[in-house]
Amino acid sequence: MPSPRTLGKYHVLERLAATPLAEIFKVKTVGIAGFEKVQVLSRVTPGYSQDPAFARAFVEEAKIAFSLNHRNIVQVFEFGKVDGELFLATEYIPGVNLREVLRVCRERETTLPVGLACYLMGEVAAGLEYAHRKTDQWGQALGVVHCDLCPLNIACSFEGSVKILDFGSARAAYQTVPYLERHLELPHYMSPEQVSGEQLAAKGFPGGNEVDALSDIFSFGTILWELLTGTPLFGGDTIAEVHEAIVDGPMPTPRTFNHDVPDSLDDVTMRCLERKPERRFTSANDLQLELHRIQRDVGAVIGSRALSTFLGELLPDYPDTRDVRQESIAGSEDRLATRRRDEGNRMRRGESLIDAAA
């Protein structure tokens, strides 16, 4: 599918990716004296832009995301409608997402050094803490929750910064769109309460899928576990199988698979992964402090320069202009085509069963 040349005031430079919910473009705006600003624009697909429930949730969550200003959260510059469709314009970050880092590590049969994993996830914790504690102008808590914290939504810039993607839009989708319709991948990083909420919402219970900040803490734990072991914690070939693993499957410690993981980091990871929310860390700040303490204990107090060096060595052939949201358009289109084909097969199987019953 060819990319448009312009989207309102935005000049399209490149189409970065496609998801069931949106198309993502690298764009630029041109100001006075030839000033140019490169951004990333996510345009919601027509079906969801025209859905009243999704549109309301998108606008409300975008307002909150627009107010978030933290070094570990991707900045939202503008939201609204372009050519009749909802959009979100955010900062452009040369780098890769954490899913890509994990993929290459698996190919090379390696994992991140323990100190580097602690630094990276400590930065994620800092962003979560800021968002979770965000208040309005009257000092009332906004109740910000990400709802889709996963490696794909963690950006690692080539300069070594770490930022969380999709605050706002992820929650809007979670509140109004079934998982199967908003994702191309299995829900490896959901919390048990999210699984229960999705099931309640599917049965028509309004508000059944509401979660709080402790849900993000569990998702954080699944990512930390994967960073330390090199593989997702919860397996399964279908959404139902992954849901079952999250709710009732075994949870071995990271040290079971990686003996470089100290007992203290094992404990931190598994506390994040407590199935009862009240047993988890009560704040991302406490989690960040523990990760910093572990860094000191293992003698690996490192920062952005170490991450930048690691990415340069891991991904030497990646262009320094690559945005963190970029993937092979062919790859994303293939996955969308597979999704549509699978949906068509399910519909045909359903029709066959109805015909047989008749």
Q: Which residue has the tokens 């372009």?
A: 82
In a domain, 19, yes or no: yes
Across the chain, which has 358 residues, the per-10-residue mean pLDDT values are 80 88 90 86 88 84 89 94 91 93 94 95 97 90 88 94 84 60 74 79 53 94 97 91 94 96 97 96 97 90 90 87 62 46 43 37
Residue 97's pLDDT is 94
Token code pair at residue 18 = 């496609």
Q: Are residues 71 and 102 in the same domain?
A: no
| Domain enclosing residue 38, as ranges | 6-92
Which residues 6+ apart lie within 8 Å of 314 measured at CB? 101, 104, 105, 108
Q: Are residues 148 and 85 in the same domain?
A: no
In a domain, 128, yes or no: yes
Q: Are residues 270 and 134 in the same domain?
A: yes
The pairing of beta strand 95-97 with beta strand 85-91 = unpaired
Token code pair at residue 351 = 């029709």
* Amino acid residing at 4: P
In a domain, 353, yes or no: no
User: CA–CA distance from 297 to each of 71, 177, 209, 278 (Å)?
Assistant: 26, 44, 39, 27
Q: Are residues 82 and 113 in the same domain?
A: no
In a domain, 358, yes or no: no
Q: Are residues 26 and 38 in the same domain?
A: yes
Q: Are residues 87 and 214 in the same domain?
A: no
Strand ranges, E, within the chain: 6-7, 10-18, 22-30, 36-44, 76-82, 85-91, 95-97, 154-157, 162-164
First to last CA, the chain: 41
Q: Are residues 110 and 184 in the same domain?
A: yes
In a domain, 320, yes or no: no
Residue ending a domain, among 41, 63, 92, is: 92
Q: Are residues 71 and 115 in the same domain?
A: no
CA pair distance 83, 44, nearest whole angstrom: 11
pTM: 0.86
Residue ending a domain, among 54, 70, 92, is: 92
Q: Are residues 23 and 138 in the same domain?
A: no
Residue 332's pLDDT is 44
Domain count of the fold of the chain: 2
Closest by alpha carbon to 167, among 137, 193, 143?
A: 143
140 contacts 134 by C-beta, under 8 angstroms:
no
Token code pair at residue 317 = 């052939």
Residue ending a domain, among 39, 60, 92, is: 92
Q: Are residues 105 and 205 in the same domain?
A: yes
Q: Would you call 143 helix, strand, or coil by DSSP?
A: coil
Helix or strand run (H / E) with residue 295: helix 284-297
Residue 180's pLDDT is 54
Bridge partners of residue 81, in order along the sequence: 86
In a domain, 347, yes or no: no
CATH number of the structural domain spanning residue 128: 1.10.510.10
Q: Are residues 77 and 222 in the same domain?
A: no
CA pair distance 292, 300, nearest whole angstrom: 9
In a domain, 338, yes or no: no
In a domain, 169, yes or no: yes
Residue 302's pLDDT is 83
Q: Are residues 153 and 222 in the same domain?
A: yes
CATH number of the structural domain spanning residue 36: 3.30.200.20
